[in-house]
Every structure is written in structure tokens, then in C-alpha cells.
Amino acid sequence: VAVLRDAAASAMRRGAPESAVAYLKRALDEPPPGDERPALLLDLGVAEVQSRAPAAVEHLREAWQGLAEPRERGRAARLLARTLCFTGQAPEAVEVAQRAQAELPAGHDDLRLALEAIEMVGVIFGGGDPARLGELADYAIPAPDAPVGAKMLASIASLVQTYGGAPAEHCNAMAHAALSGDELMAEDNGLLTISANNVLTFTEDPEEQAAWTRAIEDGQRRGSLFIISGNRMWGGYVAMSRGDLVEAEDLLARAREEFIEYEYGGPAETYCAAFLSDARLYRGDLVGAATALHLGDDIGDGSDGVRYWLVSRLRLLVEQGRDEEALAAAEELVERYPGVNNPIVGQWRTLRAVALDRLGRHDEAVSVAREELELARAFGAPRGIGHALRVIGELEGSVDALREAVETLAGSIGRYDHARALYAHGVAAGDAASLRRAFDLGAACGADGLVADARAALEAAGEKAPVPGTSIDALTAAERRVVALAAEGRDPRDIAQSLFLTPRAVEVELASASRKLGVTSTADLAEALRAA
């Protein structure tokens, strides 16, 4: 048993959790002395968490029931509760976390905070009382040297406060405090790092892309399907937010395959269906969007995954012109999620406004859209502000509002939102330059529907549509990453190692970028980047 446990620990250190599982299962067959069994089961559950959720739940539950030492027992409870969230058993997750907190003796304050953080996660996943999340509204930003439990709770607090519409600057500071020192990454990558990293994206932090890269690299080093799949799914969501729609669709499709392999259940799968539906919708593929949406469902709880799914359903209804159904869907969102007020995580107001306007309720539509603009300004992220301005400009036929939307989004991470605002401004102002820019940027995003609209508008105005891919905006996210490293003087093999690509893939990306920009050397690529 001792030899097998040592072998398992070595396997975990080198990123081979499935080997660790094999060693530990063999150790159980010995069998171990009775007093060693619970600790061995905990080791097994920790290894299984990385590759397959249902087996981990079984062994972590048995370990928790058998362990006596408070810290190890609390650790087992935390891991069990976290895994229950991902198997569609959030109510039990909340119960486990609450019971574990109640039975902890004095002197374990950090573990108590960690268990409270997982309890809050359980509530977000649809277990427990949503009002419990309100307790995090006043959670203070922890110091850099705070224990990891405080940083775990800060991660959830940063997300809850963002959802509630607290100022972006404050939410961003909370997320940075949670991520500081890398203790959170070491202790809970795949869940709590995702919460804080999402806040960096919502607040458009310059470090957000690097934070996601570090998280996925950590998962690859550990060989953890749990970490890789979760970060890949949210990476798809983030790519979509940035306007990298082709990459987003690819990441989300791959994440869904990994979700099936890991055997996720409940709200976790629903997130993936919602995001994939949105990515396809933005690309102009309504049939594909509807198909993706049906990969998930409204399972009737108050989970965050279902909320995203309901927003995606509303978005699809509006795009399909089913306005009465869209209004009903918007009302349902208001009733079921009264605490989510920030439009950056669900633009239901502007979607409702579009439906209202098409039903002849123009004044009401403008009022609802302006309410979203006010909330977006209170949060302060450019992407949310620009989106609301664009919808208001389209509703009112205001060229000034559309011009402001274009200017706001030019400084945002949201290239797709920027392309839509350019198109709307081009149509309203009869501005061929805006339409050409929308065409180019839409092509770079992979927004085929928007590209077709921009081409038609240009041709209707007697203008010749440009050839896609002749500016820096035409580069995909992958091409931009490769070109940026090449401009630093790094060779293809070094770039491949940094980006987890093959050298051949790097060469293909460089050739494509060079062709789009009309350059022939790395030095010219670097100059094109500096000019942009």
C-alpha cells in the first residue's frame, strides 16, 4: 500500500492522474489497514476529480464519512461539495459544505472560509437559497498575504458583485486580490480561478488573456481534464466576447466533447450549450444556433448556467422575429434572476427593447434600452456601454448615438460588437468607410452574416465591396498571437512551445497573416503591428 501510494503521488506530480487512479485502486485491493482506508480514499478521490466526476463523488463521500482528523475531513468535504456541483447535485453540495463548516472546531478559520466559498458556488449552481449570495455584496477586498480561504471567497465575491452591477474598478480589484500569489491557482484551478478570470474579462483588464493562458497551461501540466475542459469552455466564451467567433465555436465544440468524457451533469452542460448557440448566432448560423441551444435545457433551477441558457434562448427568439415569445422570455429572466443586474452578463433589456419596438411599442423600447445604458455606464466596461448605445441608435435612428457607440467600442475588447456598431453607423449615416470597416472587421471575426449585410449595403450604395483580409483587423486571434511572438524575434519552434501548437501550425499561421497584410518577412510583420 505504501509503495502504491508513493507511486500515485509521483504520478500526480508529473501530470498523470489516470496512472495515479490505477495505483490507488490497486492499493485498495490489497487491502490497506482499516485506519488507512479513509486517507487512501481521499487520495483516490483527489486523483479522480481530474479525470472523471462520478467516480470521484463516490470515493470522496466515503472518505469524508471515514476521516476523523478535522483538516483532512474538511478538505474531503470541500472537494466532495465542489464535485457534486459538476454532477448536477448542487443541493447536496450546499448541505455538505454547511455541515462541514458546522462541525469544524475552533482554529480552522481558513478552511471554514474555503468551505463557505464552495457553499456559495453550490448556490450559484442552483442549490440553496439565492439570497445567501447577498451576503457577499459587502465582502471586503482581502490583503495580498491573506490565507487562501479568504481568496477563494473573494473570487466568488468578485463574480457576485459584478453580477449585481458594482463598479468595474472595484470588482476588478477584488478579482486581482483573489488571484494574487497564485495560491488560488494551486488550490482550485478549474472553478474559483475561472470566477476571478471571468471578472477580469468582464472588466476588460489588460491582463485577462494572459490569466486564461496561465490557467489552461496549469491544467495541461497537471494532465487534468477537469481543469482543461472548464477553462476551454470559458475560453470559448471569452473568445466570443472578444469577437474571435471561429475560435470560440471551435473551443466550445471541443469543450463539449470533453464534458461528455468527464461526465458533467446539470448546469455545467447548460453553459456549454448556451455559449455554442451564441457563437453560431453571431456568425450568422441560425439553424446551428438553434441546434446548439437544444443540447441544453431549462432544468428549472436557479443556476447560473440556466440563466445563460435563458438569455441565449431570448437572443435566438429575437433573431428569429418571435417577438411575443421573446417578451415572455425576458419577463421570465427578470422574475427568476432579480439579483443579476449587470448587462455585461446578460443583455436582456436591449433584446427586449428590440422586440418591443417591432411590436409597435417604441417609447417603451427606448426606455428599456436606456435603462440598460445607465446600468452599463454604472459598471463602466466599454463593451456593455457601446452595445447599449448601438441599440439605442438603431431604435432612434440617431447617427450621434451610433457614432458614440463606434468610438466607445474602438477601445473595447469586443471586436464583433465594434463591427456591428460600424455597420449600423454606416447604414444610418450613409458612410461607406464605416461599412467597409464593418466588412473587414466582421470577416476577421468570422461573422459571415454581418459580412453579407455589409457587402449588400455597400453594393446598394454603388460601392464595391472590399476583399476580406487586407488589414490588421483581418487577423484571427491565433494569427495575432503567433505574429506578436514572431515580432519579438522568436522562432517557430519556440512559438509552438509557448502556444501549445506544432511548428507546422505556427508556419501556417505566419503565412496566412503575411498574406493578409501583404508582407513578406517577419520584420515587415513587426512593422505592420507597430503601425496598427
* The 3-state secondary structure of 10-74, one letter per residue: HHHHCCCHHHHHHHHHHHHHCCCCHHHHHHHHHHHHHHHHCCCHHHHHHHHHHHHHHCCCHHHHH
Place of cell 487577423: 475
Q: What mean pLDDT comes out for the span 315-339?
A: 96
Reading the block at residue 344, the C-alpha cell is 455585461
Residues 6+ apart with CB under 8 A from 308: 270, 271, 274, 275, 346
Contact yes or no for 303/124 (Cβ under 8 A): yes
What mean pLDDT comes out for the span 476-502?
A: 78
pLDDT at 231: 95
CA distance linking residue 12 with residue 203, whole number of Å:
35
Q: What are phi and psi of 106, to 5 degrees?
A: -60, 155
Separation of alpha carbons 307 and 454, rounded Å: 32
Closest CA to 176 of 209, 154, 147: 154
State the DSSP H helix or E strand holding residue 150, giving kind and residue range, or none if neither: helix 148-164
Which amino acid belongs to residue 530?
R
Is residue 206 pLDDT above 70, yes or no?
Answer: yes
On average, the pLDDT of the chain sits at 93
Confidence of residue 413 (pLDDT cuts 50, 70, 90): very high
Indicate if the pLDDT at residue 233 is higher than 90.
yes
Q: What φ, ψ does residue 265 adopt, rounded to 5°?
A: -145, 165
Is the pLDDT at 501 greater than 70? The verdict is no
Sorted by sequence, the CB contacts under 8 Å of residue 501 that are 6+ apart come out as 482, 495, 509
Q: For residues 325-350, give the mean pLDDT.
A: 95
**pLDDT value of residue 517:** 75
Enumerate the β-bridge partners of residue 87. Answer: 265
Q: Is the pLDDT of residue 492 over 70?
A: yes
What are the cell numbers at 49?
476529480
Nearest to 37 by CA among 9, 14, 5, 77: 5
> What b/e readout covers 189-224, taking b as 16+ CB neighbours within 10 angstroms?
bbbbbbbbbbbbbbbbbeebbebbbbbbbbbeebbb
* Residue 87: strand, helix, or coil: strand
465: which DSSP letter? P
How far apart, in whole angstroms, are the C-alpha atoms of residue 96 and residue 118?
10
Evaluate if residue 140 carries a pLDDT over 70: yes
* Section 64-84 average pLDDT: 96
Rounded to whole angstroms, the Cα distance separating 284 from 452 reads: 9
The pLDDT of residue 530: 73
Nearest C-alpha neighbor of 420 from the set 431, 400, 406: 406
**Distances in Å between the alpha carbon of 478 and those of 217, 240, 496, 531?**
16, 13, 12, 20
Q: How confident is the model at residue 509 (pLDDT cuts 50, 70, 90)?
A: confident
**What is the structure's pLDDT at 114?**
97
- 265 forms beta bridges with 87
Q: Residue 469's pLDDT is what?
A: 55
pTM, rounded to two decimals: 0.89
pLDDT at 161 over 90: yes
- Contact residues for 417 (Cβ-Cβ < 8 A; gap 6+): 243, 383, 386, 387, 390, 409
Pairwise pLDDT comparison (241 vs 519), residue with the higher score: 241
- Taking Cα atoms as reference points, which of 337, 336, 326 lies closest to residue 365? 326
Could you tell me which of 116, 30, 100, 26 has the C-alpha nearest to residue 60? 100
SS3 track for 452-465:
HHHHHHHHHCCCCC
Mean pLDDT, range 326-348, rounded to an integer: 95
What is the Cα gyration radius of the chain? Answer: 24
Is residue 217 within 8 A of residue 395, CB to CB? The reply is: no
> What is the average per-residue pLDDT within 288-315?
95
CA distance 384 to 432: 26
Name which of 107-116, 126-135, 463-472 the model is least confident about: 463-472
Least confident of 31-35, 60-64, 398-402, 468-472: 468-472
How does pLDDT run across 7-37, given as a tens digit for each residue?
A: 999 999 999 999 999 999 999 999 999 899 9
* For residues 237-243, average pLDDT: 95
The b/e string for 258-288 (b: 16+ C-beta within 10 A; e otherwise) is: bbeebebbbbbbbbbbbbbbbbbbbbbbeeb
- Of the pLDDT bands very low, low, confident and very high (cuts 50, 70, 90), residue 494 is confident
pLDDT band at 269 (very low <50, low <70, confident <90, very high): confident
Model pLDDT, residue 89: 94
**What are the angstrom distances between the C-alpha of 471 and each of 172, 272, 416, 517?**
32, 32, 16, 6
- Tell me the average pLDDT across 290-307: 93
Kindly report the number of other CB atoms within 10 A of residue 43's CB atom.
22
